[in-house]
Amino acid sequence: MLGPDQPVILHLLDIPPAAEALNGVKMELVDAAFPILKGVIATTDVVEACTGVNIAVMVGGFPRKKDGEKRCDVEKCVNLQVPGFSFREACSCKLQASFVVQVLVVANPANTNALILKEFAPSIPEKNITCLTRLDHNRALGQISERLNVQVSDVKNVIIWGNHSSTQYPDVNHATVKTSSGEKPVRELVKDDEWLNAEFITTVQQRGAAIIKARKLSSALSAASSACDHIRDWVLGTPEGTWVSMGCTLMAHTMCHLG
* Binding site members for substrate: 64, 71, 108, 139
Q: What residues are designated binding site?
A: 14, 64, 71, 79, 106-108, 139
Q: What is the 3-state secondary structure (H, E, C) of the chain?
A: CCCCCCCEEEEEECCHHHHHHHHHHHHHHHHHCCCCEEEEEEECCHHHHHCCCCEEEECCCCCCCCCCCCHHHHHHHCCCCECCECHHHHHHHHHCCCCCCEEEECCCCHHHHHHHHHHHCCCCCHHHEEECCHHHHHHHHHHHHHHHCCCHHHEECCEEECCCCCCCEEECCCCEEEECCEEEEHHHHHCCHHHHHHHHHHHHHCHHHHHHHHHCCCCCHHHHHHHHHHHHHHHHCCCCCCCEEEECCCCCEEEECCC
- Euclidean distance between CA atoms 103 and 82, whole angstroms: 22
- Cis amide linkage into residue 16, ω under 30° from 0: no
Which residue from 225, 218, 57 is spatially nearest to 142, judged by alpha carbons? 225
> Which one of the listed residues 11, 137, 164, 253 is annotated catalytic?
164
Known catalytic residue at 257: no
Q: What residues are designated binding site for NAD(+)?
A: 14, 79, 106-108
Residue 23, CB-side half-sphere exposure with 13 Å CA sphere: 5
Which residues are tagged catalytic? Answer: 164
